[in-house]
Chains A and B, each alone.
Chain A
Amino acid sequence: AQSVTQPDIHITVSEGASLELRCNYSYGATPYLFWYVQSPGQGLQLLLKYFSGDTLVQGIKGFEAEFKRSQSSFNLRKPSVHWSDAAEYFCAVGVRAGNNRKLIWGLGTSLAVNP
């Protein structure tokens, strides 16, 4: 069965510190992986995605993620966190659903940033 696990429910980091949010997936075929961010009162915004090719993908807002097939992981990283990065982060895997696709989501990781 397809599933996405985000082991950390809540993380707190200091502004300027580095960040890594973990994501593990279970999917039989080639995974299409996504990270979304949800700021308070905002919709879900795509940070980055992996379909194929280079396993290190760059996204918006200075985020990057690395796909590691051997570990079934797609961890999100940022070298220096800003206070505005405080939000909920969701990892998702895309699977075919009829003619469309659907996303299987992780539970999310809530990020708090200390000044």
Chain B
Amino acid sequence: EPEVTQTPSHQVTQMGQEVILRCVPISNHLYFYWYRQILGQKVEFLVSFYNNEISEKSEIFDDQFSVERPDGSNFTLKIRSTKLEDSAMYFCASSEALRQWINEKLFFGSGTQLSVL
């Protein structure tokens, strides 16, 4: 089965530093997502992205966050100035562009564990 690839698997950074989390979605997918899971809490939706723009974002996704598709294969999440509370597992996901959107299957990466010290 095709895979979504995320790198690195674990990133440690100092508070206030910028981090970029990288994802390679499945090649023919057009919808991209970021979710995160703080330890002991629910998986939370951050942002969805289609046609080179943000489609939807949650209240978590403030001005410190940005997403980009810099080339034809990567999808990145940037946190400009990390805070302690940004420590979480970040999951990237992608899906095809089906006519009936709800029938899409989300493929998730294995996650990047971000630790902010």
Contact = CB atoms under 8 A, between A and B. Distances in A.
A107 B104 contact: no
Contact of A43 (B104, B105, B109): B109
A41 B31 contact: no
Contact of B48 (A49, A51, A102): A102
Contacts of A96: 101-102
Contact of A100 (B6, B42, B55, B107): B55
B55 A46 contact: no
21 contacts: A42-B110, A43-B111, A46-B106, A49-B105, A90-B43, A96-B101, A97-B45, A99-B50, A99-B56, A99-B101, A100-B31, A100-B50, A101-B102, A101-B104, A102-B33, A102-B45, A105-B43, A106-B42, A107-B41, A108-B42, A108-B43
B75 interface: no
A56 interface: no
A103 interface: yes
A100 B43 contact: no
Interface residues of B, number: 29
A16 B91 CA distance: 32
A41 B110 contact: yes
Given A43-B111, A98-B56, A100-B48, 20 more contacts: A32-B102, A43-B3, A43-B91, A44-B43, A49-B105, A51-B103, A90-B43, A96-B101, A97-B48, A97-B55, A99-B56, A100-B56, A100-B101, A101-B48, A101-B101, A102-B33, A102-B56, A103-B43, A106-B42, A108-B43
Contacts of A44: 43, 91, 93, 108
Interface string A36-80: 100001111110010100000000000000000000000000000
Interface in B12-28: none
B79 interface: no
Interface in B25-50: 31, 33, 35, 41-45, 48, 50
Q: Which of A42, A44, A45, A46 has the most CB of B within 10 A?
A: A44
A103 B102 CA distance: 11
Contacts of B109: 43
Contacts of B67: none
